[in-house]
Amino acid sequence: MKILFFLIIISFSFVRAAETGSFKKKLDTLKKQTVIIHNDIIKNNEELKKIKIDIERNSQKQIILKKKIKSGEDIGRRLMFLLQEKIYQSPATKIINSLFFQSEDFITEQIVREFFLKKVRFGVDEYLSSFKTITELNKELDDKLIVYKKKKNNLSIKLTTLEKKINEVAKLQKKVKVDVKLKVKEKRYKEQAKNLNELVQGVKRKKIKKKLTNFSKVKFPVQGKIISNFGEGKDVRKSKNGLVFKVIEDSFVTSPINGMVVYANQFRSYGNLVIIENDQGYYCILSGMKKIMISSGNEVFIGEPIAKISAESNSQLYFELRLNGKIINPKSKVEIL
């Protein structure tokens, strides 16, 4: 009886492990899909920005050309001047004037007439050219607007798909067994840690043998403007030990490295804070997110959406990077890889 009971327990354990392995494999596939979709969204956004710049340039060119067309009134006045000269002087009068009145005034008048004639010729050519160019610009603008609308629609579809995949990841993540010790540490040091250094030291995992020949890649966590560089500390609310980003639109925050989430919760004045570490000794610290979408014990891929940040005026993302306990400039690792 005891042997049968023991065999049942072992069988159950094997089945449980197999299910966990299956969930883990499916979860990793979904996570990689979110990375790919998010990368597509970034690419789509960049293309939209370029098209928008082209549309603005097109509009500026049209404004300039319309001003040139409007200046056609000057051409008309010059043309009227020449016509009046021809109307009020008969051929005979012109001959007599040319024979007997070769005064300085007459010569000056001839020079002025030639000047106006050249101006009219040039103006008419430019006037007609402007009409032709503005027609071409209108056609180009229509084409750009069609492409822009299509890209905008694709972006909306991709964002909807990404949100769906993220929800699938969240549901499946609950079925995958995680290291409970990390959650216990998170809860303890959230209250006990007096500063960020104590928090990092408290929640880190046991030392793992580092693969010195396989350094991790590092990626910026968000597409935005750096408003405070490493060592500057322009914003008094953020540490000078990292970079501070400002986004122009609501965005996803992605994991800068492959690793394990050891903290994902609020912490003192930092607000929502995430700490990710990996086997190569990297510690990535992120704060300022509006919403965290992962929890401690979750494995994450580089480029995987893990949080959301708002574009509100006071929203800023803080990004700090440590290697083997030493605080380093994130740019030094992002830019060389």
Instruction: Give the domain CATH number at 222.
Output: 2.70.70.10
Residues 20 and 147 in one domain: yes
CB atoms near residue 151 (< 10 Å): 17
Tell me which residue of 157, 164, 147 sits closest to 47, measured CA to CA. Answer: 147
Q: For the chain, count helices (H), then strands (E).
A: 7, 11
Residues 164 and 191 in one domain: no
- Phi and psi torsions of 256, nearest 5°: -75, -15
Question: In the chain, how many domains are there?
Answer: 2
Residue at a domain's end among 151, 173, 195: 173
CA dist., res. 259 & res. 290, Å (int): 22
Residues 158 and 186 in one domain: no
Domain that holds residue 71: 2-173
Residues 46 and 81 in one domain: yes
Residues 167 and 291 in one domain: no
Beta bridge partners of 99: none
Beta bridge partners of 282: 323
Cα 260–chain centre separation: 26
CB 310 within 8 A of CB 250: yes
CA distances 310 to 26, 146, 179, 248, 266, Å, are 30, 29, 31, 9, 17
Residues 185 and 309 in one domain: yes
Residues 141 and 186 in one domain: no
Condensed to tens digits (0 to 9), the pLDDT of residues 115-151 reads 655 665 655 555 556 666 777 778 888 888 898 899 9
Please give the span between the terminal C-alpha atoms of the chain, in angstroms, as a whole number: 61
Q: What does pTM read for this prediction?
A: 0.73
In the numeric block, which tokens belong to residue 210? Answer: 């580092």
Tell me which residue of 201, 325, 191, 203 sits closest to 267, measured CA to CA. Answer: 191
CA dist., res. 180 & res. 193, Å (int): 19
Amino acid at 264: A
CA dist., res. 290 & res. 307, Å (int): 7
Residues 330 and 189 in one domain: yes
Instruction: List per-residue pLDDT tens for the chain, 337 residues long.
Output: 556 544 445 444 444 555 557 888 899 999 999 999 999 999 999 999 899 898 888 888 778 777 766 665 555 555 555 555 554 445 555 554 555 445 555 556 556 556 655 665 655 555 556 666 777 778 888 888 898 899 999 999 999 999 999 999 999 988 888 888 899 999 999 999 999 999 999 998 866 555 444 456 899 999 999 998 988 866 555 678 999 999 988 999 999 999 999 999 999 989 999 999 998 899 999 999 999 999 999 999 999 999 999 988 678 999 999 999 899 999 988 865 4
Residues 169 and 184 in one domain: no
Residue at a domain's end among 142, 173, 204: 173
Residue at a domain's end among 173, 199, 230: 173
Structural element, H or E, at residue 251 = strand 251-254
Provide Rg for the chain, Cα atoms.
35
